Every structure is written in structure tokens, then in C-alpha cells.
Amino acid sequence: MTRTYYEDGTMQSEANYADGIMSGFYKTYYTNGQLETVSIMNEGEKTGEFKNYDREGNLLLVGHFTAGRLDGDNTAFYPTGEILHKFHFKDGTKVGLNEAYYQNGNIKMREQVAVSGIDVKAETFDSLGNPIDLKNYRKEKPHGIWVFYYEDGKTSKVKETYDNGKLHGPRTTYYRNGKKEVEETYQFNLITGTVKNYFEDGKLQSECEYRSSRQHGLYTSYYPNGEIKEQGEYIANKKHNDWKEFDEQGNLIKTYTFKAGLLIEEK
């Protein structure tokens, strides 16, 4: 048995060695003498059950190692005894269903991990149990559908799609009433195609063509009654050619002529 001590003489650790290699029980202690960790070593690697405690002696974590890697059930506790999380490991990687909890017992986080550890579906919740978000990962990068919710946990705030860590596919934001606010499409983090904005009642507010995250093509905005308010063309984020303004009855008010963002004529 080998022991180490703090400067004041309080024991810091206890360890067993065989042929100069740590084997058997290994314990560490706080400066107040309280047990901090207890584990089992086999030829210098952690194996079997281990436990962690706080300075007051409350159990904080119970888990298992196999050949130095987390393996099997892993359960953490609040100092008052409530379960903080229940994780499951295989060869050092989380697998299966893993959950974390608020102190009131409600679920805080839930993730479903494939046996391979590559694909992960993760959900988080508020302390009342309402969903906050849903995220999918592949190889630790965003991949697939992501959803963010308003405080009620029922109304989607944002829905977006990822491919290998990059926004790729449809992305939609929503008003609190559930109506669409913005519709857009991404290709590898760049906005492309038609972007549509909506009024809170669901009516179309504007639409514009995009290329590589820049306005490029026809732009049209609308009044709440559906009449065109403004219409013109963008080239690389700059107004170009004729832009027309209309009143709410559809009558032409003014025409502006632009060249690469510069106003050339107004009539």
C-alpha cells in the first residue's frame, strides 16, 4: 500500500502496486479527510466500478471502466441524492438511451445514440418538461433536422436541415402563432433560390431570388392586401435596372432606375 499526503499531513491518496504498476484499489481524499474517489486499477488502467463523492461525503457518480475506458452504466447524482444523469457507455463512447434530469425529476436532456456511436438524436427540455430543441448529429456534426421551440414547447420557432455540419436544405422560421415567418433554402451554408417572408397572418410579405447568399434576381414586396408594393431586380446584392413602387390599390407611384446599386434616374 502506497500513500501520499497533503502538506498538513492529511492523507491525499492510497494505492496498491504490483511490480511497480498500480493494481487494486485506488482512493483519493479531500483535504478535510473525506473520500473523494474510489476505483480499481489493473496494470495501470482503471477497471470495474468507480465512485466519486463531494467534500461532504455525498455520492456524486457511479460508473464502470473496462481496460481504462468507460463501459456500462454511468449514473450521476445531485448532492441531495436526486439522479442527475443516467448514461450508458461502450468502449468509452455513449450508446443507447442517455438522459439527464433536473433536480425536480423532470427530464432535462435525452439522447438516443446508435450502437456505432455515429448517429445521435438529442432533445433538451425546460424544468417544466417542455421541449426546447431537437437536434440530430452524425460523427458529432449537425446532420439532419434541427427544431427549436418557443417557450410553450409546442410551437416551432425554427426548423432547419443540416448535412455534415452545414446548413443544407429547407430552413423555416415561425411566428409564435405558428404561422411561417421566413422560408429559405441552403446549399452548404449558402442561401439559394427563393426566400419568402410572411406577415404574421400568413400572407406573403416579400419574395426574392438568392444566389450564394446574395440577393440576385427578382424582388417583390406586398401590402397586407396582397397588392404589389415594390418590385425590381438585384444583381449581386445591388439594385439594378428599373424598380417600381405601387400604392395599395396597385397604381404605379414611382419608377427608379439603378445601375449596380447606383440611382441613375427617378420618374
Residue 114's pLDDT is 87
Residue 116's pLDDT is 75
**What φ, ψ does residue 223 adopt, rounded to 5°?**
-80, 160
Which grid coordinates belong to 28? 483519493
Residue 183's pLDDT is 99
Cα-based distances in Å from 171 to 222, 236, 248: 22, 22, 30
For residues 174 and 154, give the distance between their C-alpha atoms in angstroms, rounded to a whole number: 12
Coil vs helix vs strand at 104: coil
For residues 173 and 66, give the distance between their C-alpha atoms in angstroms, rounded to a whole number: 46
Question: Residue with C-alpha cell 475506458?
Answer: 69
For residues 23 and 15, give the distance between their C-alpha atoms in angstroms, rounded to a whole number: 8
Question: Residue with C-alpha cell 401590402?
Answer: 223
For residues 116 and 94, give the distance between their C-alpha atoms in angstroms, rounded to a whole number: 9
Residue 117's pLDDT is 77
Encoded amino acid at 25, one letter: F
Coil vs helix vs strand at 134: strand
Long-range contacts of 177-185 (CB under 8 A, 24+ apart): 184/210
Please write the tens of the pLDDT for every residue from 165-193: 999 999 999 999 999 999 999 999 999 99
Find out whether 1 and 22 touch, Cβ atoms under 8 Å. no
Residue 115's pLDDT is 73
List, for the chain, all residue ranges whose pLDDT scores fall below the cut of 70: none
Find out whether 78 and 97 touch, Cβ atoms under 8 Å. no
Residue 57's pLDDT is 97
Residue 197's pLDDT is 99
Residue 19's pLDDT is 84
Closest CA relative to residue 198, chosen from 164, 232, 174: 174
Residue 41's pLDDT is 94
For residues 71 and 88, give the distance between their C-alpha atoms in angstroms, rounded to a whole number: 7
Which grid coordinates belong to 191? 442561401
Name residues whose C-beta falls within 8 Å of residue 59's C-beta, 6 or more positions apart in sequence.
Answer: 51, 52, 53, 77
